[in-house]
Structure 1
């Protein structure tokens, strides 16, 4: 009888472990696998990206370049003083960032290959304002957050979308680490291949060298899977060995990490036998992507992370968020936050899919539930226009019948005037609509101004800062861009040549000081990246020695008008 109850107890323990984010015999538990499965099911673009990067080519990986990744900590506290409770101190966050860097550099006692990946606090906001890299939000008003914290992945997503300063969707150029009061089902979780990281506040205050929570979750962002990935729960409540006939395309997609069962991580003992291989676990018990006693990455894991940054997500590192913006770059912040009325708990695709306006050509996530009701692209998506002239703006969205409105803060006072600064106001059936914008004579020439585009389906007209939505599908979406109004047209540039490697959409990359248009011939002698979700065009392209194009997911380049 005693033995029977013991078996039932162990079975129950395994089931609870599986349901609660893969809790294990150690202090670390991770909710990443179910989070990724949920997003793959709901988001076709993310699903395609994950599938395309599972077998990341590693043959020609650059192991020398130092990849510097900008980091933003968002601390969701419940009203405590800084340094108390969930309001983790700056000193603790700085220590965790240093610990993360020591682990990724392989500095003793973390004796693994130096990844040449470094993490630094971001120096600017998505709106190009100076920033210290730590944002604190009093989330005590969020229902049940103070006493329950994050109780599911959906709750975490809703929390992030409630405070949209750093939504951190796929393909943003910074890494957001969300520090929350508590996570009921795991120590933390992340979206594999460049997405959100959620960690509990307790883990961010643990200054012991044995704390590998952040190294583990950031490893997921950089395309590392659990070392037991592919282990399945069987009908007899035990786990299977992951398939590993071809270790580059199965298991965790890394050849030098042996497969092992979930729930059997080696118990911090290198001599413990791995039942999937019949051999001792060895250093696998110390792997950061295991659940045992993480301290190292394997050489294959380092190569995979660098290959991911090099081929699939090059703009995550060494970008403008590592530099303090100049006064000319900074946009006036809008005095109001975007509010929403009716919302939906389902990921309906009711947001903005595509915006095209002169040098701006941006595709974006169009599910307000998953991608946020507000997205700020103003720091990296800018264009110039000439005062007194008219231009065509194209907006694509799936709404069957919705309001589409555009505002420009002409006087740069941080307020969108509904009477004088709304330049487009129409109701349109779903699909692509084209709108003419006339640029008046103004005094704020030569300065980047905020341009706001919104769509919303409902019976009540939206405003620049409020989306009423409707009962069936919830609210729509707002996106911000930047436009600079020039008093006269700039001189005609005969040939737009690259000056350095960088983003196609960065005017500083080009000899003409502007992003190429469909009428511009282009000469490329550097590594030029087409940002994710953007379609760019030139009249024709000539490649010089060293010239190449790097495509982020869904980035497109075409030639000819």
Structure 2
């Protein structure tokens, strides 16, 4: 999935468009509307900082503090934490009871802070096209145990053009064929333009770290609310108002059936400042994925 500033902005380089489904039919009743009694799923993440030789804290070589605050923001959003931008009082939303932590042990069992820094100028990458396999050639941890997140050293001209993308899970839920494929054929994870990773002072509607929230939603099985731009078959979540066109900015409008579009939903291309909602059906979907196709992520973290 590619998140763009304007819906009509067509990218011609480095971009891979994929659709995601949010059908929840196979999920048992007990997965609906997660309650405080339900298990908290904790997931290890590793952030691969790809840079061009800059000092730490300069340009794409992001500081440890900015990375830590991005993970904190991600958790605020998924946990709907009171007093943060991730809180909402919408009755069809909830605490997803999914949280993330920077890995403390690497694949070889050594202590780590969950951050790996790679100077791209010192690595001979055999691939030229920037995609998941390209970034995995710099560094790639076991996808069954960690969510691999790469921050990409795109030039300043890439701000608001390329924000991020994610592979989807290999799930038995309807719509699986629409996901951007990962293992065993391609590396899987999340790519984020370094400029849109965490909170920053760039002049952009996407400067509060919500790109990672959005892409993590895709990684755990969510679709844009407009899906395939079909009023009858869009994101397959009954509690997200149907819409058949891109949703960006912060101004709502009438979608299918003359319903107000849920502009605050994390899975839109809404400006970061306006996002604060995963719906119950979306939460149900993600929790299903974490008890089935991505179950190893939870088992490893716990």
**TM-score (normalizing by structure 1):** 0.42
Task: Rate the CA distance shift 1:142–1:157 in 2: closer, same or farther, 3 A.
Answer: farther
After superposition, what is the alpha-carbon deviation per residue over 1:117-137, rounded to whole angstroms, capped at 9, x for unaligned?
Answer: 010111222222222210000
CA drift of 1:289 comes to: 0.1
CA drift of 1:243 comes to: 4.0
Looking at structure 2, the residues matched to 306 and 251 of structure 1 have their Cα atoms a distance apart, in angstroms, of 20
- The number of residue pairs the alignment matches comes to 255
The residue that corresponds to 1:252 in the other structure is 235
Looking at structure 2, the residues matched to 56 and 227 of structure 1 have their Cα atoms a distance apart, in angstroms, of 17
Looking at structure 2, the residues matched to 66 and 165 of structure 1 have their Cα atoms a distance apart, in angstroms, of 26
Task: Rate the CA distance shift 1:75–1:266 in 2: closer, same or farther, 3 A.
Answer: closer
After superposition, what is the alpha-carbon deviation per residue over 1:318-342, rounded to whole angstroms, capped at 9, x for unaligned?
Answer: 41x56xxxxxxxxxxxxxxxxxxxx
Looking at structure 2, the residues matched to 14 and 133 of structure 1 have their Cα atoms a distance apart, in angstroms, of 34
1:156 aligns with 2:156: no
Task: Rate the CA distance shift 1:213–1:56 in 2: closer, same or farther, 3 A.
Answer: farther
The residue that corresponds to 2:169 in the other structure is 193
Query: Matches of residues 291-370 of structure 1 in structure 2 within 5 Å?
Result: 291-292=269-270, 293-319=274-300
Query: Matches of residues 86-485 of structure 1 in structure 2 within 5 Å?
Result: 86-108=60-82, 109=85, 110-111=87-88, 112-141=93-122, 154-166=129-141, 168=143, 172-182=144-154, 184=158, 185-193=161-169, 195-207=188-200, 210-231=208-229, 242-244=230-232, 250-263=233-246, 265=247, 267-270=249-252, 272-274=253-255, 276-281=256-261, 284-292=262-270, 293-319=274-300
Q: Which structure: larger Rg?
A: 1
Secondary structure of the residue aligned to 2:46 is strand
Task: Rate the CA distance shift 1:61–1:160 in 2: closer, same or farther, 3 A.
Answer: farther
Secondary structure of the residue aligned to 2:292 is helix
Looking at structure 1, the residues matched to 279 and 64 of structure 2 have their Cα atoms a distance apart, in angstroms, of 31
1:18 aligns with 2:5: no
Q: Which aligned segments of 4 or more residues in structure 1 are displaced greater than 3 angstroms?
A: 18-21, 53-56, 60-63, 141-144, 207-211
Task: Rate the CA distance shift 1:61–1:173 in 2: closer, same or farther, 3 A.
Answer: farther
After superposition, what is the alpha-carbon deviation per residue over 1:201-254, rounded to whole angstroms, capped at 9, x for unaligned?
Answer: 1112425884411100000011001111111xxxxxxxxxx142xxxxx32121
Looking at structure 2, the residues matched to 312 and 56 of structure 1 have their Cα atoms a distance apart, in angstroms, of 16
Task: Rate the CA distance shift 1:59–1:167 in 2: closer, same or farther, 3 A.
Answer: closer
Q: Which runs of 5+ in 2 are unaligned?
A: 1-5, 171-187, 202-206
Q: Which runs of 5+ in 1 are unaligned?
A: 1-12, 22-29, 38-49, 145-149, 232-241, 245-249, 323-561
Task: Rate the CA distance shift 1:143–1:129 in 2: closer, same or farther, 3 A.
Answer: closer
Task: Rate the CA distance shift 1:91–1:164 in 2: closer, same or farther, 3 A.
Answer: closer
**Which residue of 52, 59, 65 maps to 2:28?**
59
Task: Rate the CA distance shift 1:56–1:96 in 2: closer, same or farther, 3 A.
Answer: farther
The residue that corresponds to 2:43 in the other structure is 69
Looking at structure 2, the residues matched to 273 and 60 of structure 1 have their Cα atoms a distance apart, in angstroms, of 31
Looking at structure 2, the residues matched to 269 and 72 of structure 1 have their Cα atoms a distance apart, in angstroms, of 35
After superposition, what is the alpha-carbon deviation per residue over 1:151-201, rounded to whole angstroms, capped at 9, x for unaligned?
Answer: x9x422343242244264xxx221111011127452011012273100011
The residue that corresponds to 1:558 in the other structure is none
Kindly indicate whether structure 1 or structure 2 has the higher relative contact order, using CA contacts under 8 Å at least 6 residues apart.
2
After superposition, what is the alpha-carbon deviation per residue over 1:281-335, rounded to whole angstroms, capped at 9, x for unaligned?
Answer: 2xx100000012322111111111111111332111141x56xxxxxxxxxxxxx
Looking at structure 2, the residues matched to 266 and 72 of structure 1 have their Cα atoms a distance apart, in angstroms, of 29
Task: Rate the CA distance shift 1:122–1:143 in 2: closer, same or farther, 3 A.
Answer: closer
Contact 1:56 1:304 in 2 (8 A): no
